[in-house]
Amino acid sequence: MNQPADHQYAEPLVPASAQAAPVPPAADLNTFNVEIPSAEELAPVGAKYIWLMVLAQFGVFVAFITPLAISLSIRIAELAPNNQEFLAYITGAGAFAAMISSPFLGVASDRTRSRLGRRRPYMIGGAILGMVSLLVMATAPSVLLLGAGWVLAQIGWGQVLNNLLFSMADRLPEHQRGKVAGLTGFATQVAPVVGVVVAGGFATQNILLFLIPGFIGIVFVLLFVLFIRESDSRTMARQPRLHIGTLLSKFLFNPRRHQDYAWAWLGRFLFYFGLTLNTTFTAFFFAQRLGVEVAEVAPTLAVLSLLGIGATTIGAVGGGFLSDKLRRRRVFVTAAGILFGAGAITMALSTDIVGLMAGSLLCSVGIGAFAAVDQALILDVLPARETDTGRFMSIIGFATSLPQAVAPLIAPIFLAIGVTAAGEKNYLLLYIVAAVFTAAGGLVVLRIRGVK
C-alpha cells in the first residue's frame, strides 16, 4: 500500500516566535500552546510507524511479562519455598508503584521540551531502568530485593509502554485505531508466549532467565526510538509551573462531564481485575492441577501458550479489523469479556490438560479481542486528546494498575477458603470470581453512548 512517510506526521509544535504569547493563567493549566491536529485532522500513519510500534510493544511485553508469567514464580520457589502468597505481595507492590508514578510521569511527558520530542526521552529512560530491574531480580539474594526489582520493572518498562500508547493517541486517526490496536494487541499477547518459551530454556539459569527477554525488549524499543521521528519539542511554549494541588487535580476528572470515558474506565477496571485474579497464580495453579513442581510447569505452559497464538490472533487481529470495518466497538468488547469469563470457568472446572487447554484457548480469544478493541474504544472516547493525552491516558492507566495492585492482595483470601487437608488452594473459587469480573467488564461498556 502506498502510504506517506512517517516523518510527515510528527507532532507539529509551536514555533519559537510564538513563545512571546501571554502565558495562560493558573486556572487554565489544561490549555497548551501546541498545534496538535484534532482527531478528525490526523493523516494516516505509514507502514513503518505501524510495524515498529507493533515490534516495540512486543519487545516491552517479552521483557516485562515474562517475570510475571513464570520467572518470579521460579525465583520465589527458590528463595521462599511454600510461600506462594509472596508472589501476590510482590506483584501488588509493583502495581501500586506504577499506579502512583505513571500519572505524574504522564503529565511530565505532555509538558517535556527536548530535542528528542515529548515521548522518546521516557522510552529511552524507561528501557534503561527496565534492564537494571531485570538484573536486580536475577541476582536478588532475598525476597525483599526481588520485590524491589519488580517495582523498578513496573516503573521502567511501564513508562516505555505508556509513551508508546501516548504516541498512538497523538498520531492515529480514528479509522486506523482498531487495526493498529489489533496488531499491537496480538503482539502483546504473543510476547508472553515467547517469553515463557525462553524462560523454559533457562529455568535454572537466573541471569539468562531475566536478561534474555530484557535484551529482546530493549532492541525493539530502540528501533522505534531511532526510526520514528518526533518533532523537537524545545520550541513548545513553556507551561506554567504545577503546584502540588493543581498537579493532583490532573489525576481526577468529572465523570458526568466525560460519561463515555468514565464507563470505558470502569469496564477496563473490571476486566483487568478479573484478568489479574486469573493470571497471577497461573504457574502454581497448573502445578497443583497437573501434580508437578512449579519449576516443571514452564515447558507445559510454553506448549499450551504456543497453541493459544492462533486463538489470540483471531481475537486481536480479527476483532480490531472488524471493529474498524463495521464501525462497532462495544459489541466486540462485551463479547470478549464474556468469552474470557467462559474460559476462566472452564479452566476452574478442569483437572486435566485437555480441559485446561480448552479454557486457555477461550481466554486467549477473549483477551486478544478485548486488548485490541478496548484500546481503540479508549482512543475514541479520550477527552482533550489535542492537549492532555498523557494525562487522560494515565488516568486510564489506573484502570489497569489498580486491579494489578489490589487483586493479588485479595486473591489469597479466596485461595484460603476451604483449603484441603493436603494444603491445596481453592483455585476453583478464585477462577469463578475472576470470570464474573471479566464478564462484567465487557457488559459495562454497553452504557457508552458516543461510540457504537
Q: Is the pLDDT of residue 249 over 60?
A: yes
Per-residue confidence band for 8, with pLDDT thresholds at 50, 70 and 90:
very low
Tell me what pLDDT residue 38 has: 52
Examine the pLDDT at 307 and tell me if it is beyond 70: yes
Whole-number pLDDT of residue 108 = 85
CB atoms within 10 A of CB 315: 32
Per residue in 113-156, pLDDT (tens digit) is 889 888 999 999 999 999 999 999 999 999 999 999 999 999 99
Mean pLDDT of the chain: 82
Rg (the chain; Cα; Å): 21
Sorting pLDDT into bands at 50, 70 and 90, what band is 186? confident
pLDDT (mean) for 196-224:
85
Closest CA to 313 of 164, 187, 171, 162: 187
**In sequence order, which ranges of 243-352 are alpha helices (DSSP H)?**
244-249, 259-279, 282-290, 297-313, 319-326, 330-348
Mean pLDDT value of segment 160-174: 90
Whether the per-residue pLDDT at 2 is higher than 50: the answer is no
- State the average pLDDT over residues 410-425: 80
SS3 42: coil
**What is d(CA 369, CA 361) in angstroms, rounded to the nearest whole number?**
12
Closest C-alpha among 56, 54, 57, 62 to residue 183:
54
The CA-CA-CA angle for residues 429, 415, 344, to 5°, reads: 40
CA 376 to chain centre: 14
Residue 15 has pLDDT above 50, yes or no: no
What are the distances in angstroms from CA 242 to CA 28, 114, 303? 11, 19, 50
Would the pLDDT of 35 be above 50? no
Residues 310 and 357: their CA atoms lie apart, in Å, by: 13
Ranked by mean pLDDT, which of 302-311, 343-352, 394-403 comes out on top? 343-352
Average pLDDT estimate for 297-320: 80
Round to the nearest angstrom and report the end-to-end CA distance of the chain.
Answer: 28
Using pLDDT thresholds of 50, 70 and 90, give the confidence band for residue 420: low
pLDDT tens digit sequence for 57-79: 999 999 988 887 778 888 888 89
Encode burial over 273-302: b for 16+ CB neighbours within 10 A, e otherwise.
bbbbbbbbbbbbbbbbbeeeebbebbbbbb
Q: What is the DSSP string of 92-159?
A: HHHHHHHHHHHHHHHHHHHH---TT-SSHHHHHHHHHHHHHHHHHHHH-SSHHHHHHHHHHHHHHHHH
Kindly indicate the confidence band of residue 293, based on its pLDDT and cuts at 50, 70 and 90.
Answer: confident
Q: Determine what percent of the chain is predicted with pLDDT higher than 70.
A: 87
- pLDDT at residue 421 greater than cutoff 80: no
Do the Cβ atoms of 307 and 357 come closer than 8 Å? yes
Q: Which three cell numbers stand for residue 430?
A: 478464585
* pLDDT tens digits along 80-122: 887 777 888 898 888 888 878 887 888 888 888 889 888 999 9
Looking at residue 20, its pLDDT comes to: 31
Higher local confidence (pLDDT), 4 or 182: 182
Q: Is 1's pLDDT higher than 50? A: no
Q: What is the pLDDT of residues 330-375, one digit of tens each?
A: 999 999 999 999 999 999 998 888 888 889 889 989 988 998 899 8
Inter-CA distances, 70 with 74, 145, 146, 209, 283, Å: 6, 18, 14, 10, 7
**How many other C-beta atoms are found inside a 10 Å radius of the C-beta of residue 207?**
12
